[in-house]
Amino acid sequence: MEFVDALINILNSTIRVSVPLLLACLAGLYSERAGVFDIGLEGKMLAGAFAGAAAAAVFASAWIGLLVAVLVSVGMALVHGFASITHRGNQIVSGVAINFIAAGSTIILGQAWFQQGGRTPSLPPEGRFGEIKLPGADALRDVPVIGQLYSGLLSGHSLLTYVAFLAVPFTWWVLFRTRFGLRLRAVGENPAAVDTAGISVAWLRYRAVICTGILTGLAGSYMALAQNAGFVKDMTAGRGYIALAALIFAKWKPVPAMFACLLFGFLDALSIRLQGTPLPLIGKVPVQLMQALPYILTVILLAGFIGKAIPPRAGGVPYVKER
């Protein structure tokens, strides 16, 4: 039973750690499927986290914080779209610029508004998304294995956790079962053909980056309003880049993207669990190595196990309409 409890605790931590990665990964999926490479996921997540925490601290409402986070992230996504779609700028440079702007402005505004070294005040309970207990979770808690899985693993997460995992089949349905999804994939592969059919390439790509902004806003909100009780400096800690790696690992498909994010979440949760624990034949491993382990294994998996990942053919290439 101790093994089952330990396993459930690790899997529970896996889910919690995976949520922002999954939302950011799906966000990148929309834009990159439309041919807009977005390395600025990190910056949009960070800006959304700060905006959400700041609004929730001022208005004492998690829902207002969520709305503001999404609006700010969508705004930054539109800036990226304006630079790379309208003006056909370099998409990598635009994304990196957004990351730098978010990293600097969140600290400056946080210090100017709250005088707490770039942090936001600790949020009250009404300013956070609390845990949701599923029906019958308490009654089934003592049932071996099945009850433990239901009450300890499936139940007790925030609303945004369930939204993140429901977004996976929804994204699959949008991309592969709707007209919008068909056009989105087509504009990422052959924008000239889409343009010839009388469909606006720019408008399709703008809608894709808006979807990216919404999902990165949700990811930032989760980190500031559910996983933590406020914003702290650089709280995304490179998760936007890991989400990009997971997207490549999943070959730009939503269901494999979910498993890639869960894999990284599991490695991260396992590294936290094993910190300070002596390992057989090795002994006590330095904390820094355990913290770096998920990133090292992610690089190894990307380098050696996914085979050739072919991105959308028009990805990262500004579309110039032929006259």
| Helix locations, 82-115, DSSP H | 91-114
Banded model confidence at residue 266, pLDDT cuts 50, 70, 90: confident
Asked if 191 contacts 201 with a C-beta cutoff of 8 angstroms, the reply is: yes
Asked if 148 contacts 8 with a C-beta cutoff of 8 angstroms, the reply is: yes
Please indicate, yes or no, if residue 316 is contained in any of the structural domains: no
Asked if 181 contacts 160 with a C-beta cutoff of 8 angstroms, the reply is: no
What does the block give as tokens for 115?
């005088």
- How do residues 122-157 score in pLDDT, each as one tens digit? 999 899 998 888 887 777 777 777 877 888 888 888
d(CA 48, CA 53): 8
Please indicate, yes or no, if residue 317 is contained in any of the structural domains: no
Q: What average pLDDT is seen over the chain?
A: 87
Instruction: Please report where in the chains the tokens 């529970």 appear, as a residue.
Output: 12
* The overall pTM is greater than 0.85: yes
Largest pairwise CA distance in the chain? 70
pLDDT of residue 249: 83
* Count of domains for the chain: 1
d(CA 207, CA 239): 24
Min mean pLDDT across 147-161, 170-184, 199-213, 247-261 is at 147-161
d(CA 188, CA 195): 12
pLDDT of residue 289: 73
Choose between 222 and 136: higher pLDDT.
Answer: 222
Please indicate, yes or no, if residue 95 is contained in any of the structural domains: yes
Please indicate, yes or no, if residue 313 is contained in any of the structural domains: no
Q: Tell me, what DSSP letter sits at residue 133?
A: P
Asked if the model's pLDDT at residue 318 lies above 90, the reply is no
Amino acid at 121: P
CATH number of the domain where residue 279 is located: 1.10.3470
Choose between 234 and 323: higher pLDDT.
Answer: 234
Q: Is 276 exposed, middle or buried (0-12, 13-18, 19+ CB in 10 A)?
A: exposed
Considering just the CA atoms, what is the radius of gyration of the chain in Å?
20
Banded model confidence at residue 306, pLDDT cuts 50, 70, 90: low
Domain that residue 106 falls in: 2-302
d(CA 125, CA 19): 21
Task: Please give the torsion angle defined by the CA atoms of residues 231, 17, 7 and 161, in that order, rounded to the nearest 10 degrees.
Answer: 90
- How do residues 93-109 score in pLDDT, each as one tens digit? 999 999 999 999 999 99
pLDDT of residue 176: 93
Please indicate, yes or no, if residue 308 is contained in any of the structural domains: no
d(CA 158, CA 90): 38
Task: Please give the torsion angle defined by the CA atoms of residues 224, 110, 28 and 227, in that order, rounded to the nearest 10 degrees.
Answer: -10
Q: CA nearest 206: which of 189, 184, 185, 221?
A: 184
156: alpha, beta or left, given left = phi > 0 and alpha = psi -120 to 50?
A: left
d(CA 188, CA 177): 17
pLDDT of residue 55: 94
Alpha carbon separation from 92 to 89, 114, 217 (Å, rounded): 9, 33, 20
d(CA 293, CA 287): 10
d(CA 53, CA 224): 6
Residues in the chain, how many?
Answer: 323
Percent with pLDDT over 90 in the chain: 49
Please indicate, yes or no, if residue 322 is contained in any of the structural domains: no
- How do residues 60-91 score in pLDDT, each as one tens digit? 999 999 999 999 999 999 999 999 999 988 89
pLDDT of residue 237: 84
Please indicate, yes or no, if residue 90 is contained in any of the structural domains: yes
Q: Is 87 exposed, middle or buried (0-12, 13-18, 19+ CB in 10 A)?
A: exposed
- How do residues 271-295 score in pLDDT, each as one tens digit? 777 766 776 666 676 767 777 777 7
Please indicate, yes or no, if residue 19 is contained in any of the structural domains: yes
Choose between 2 and 8: higher pLDDT.
Answer: 8
Average pLDDT over residues 149-169: 90
pLDDT of residue 158: 92
What does the block give as tokens for 63?
């829902």
Neighbouring CB atoms inside 10 A of 149's CB total 17
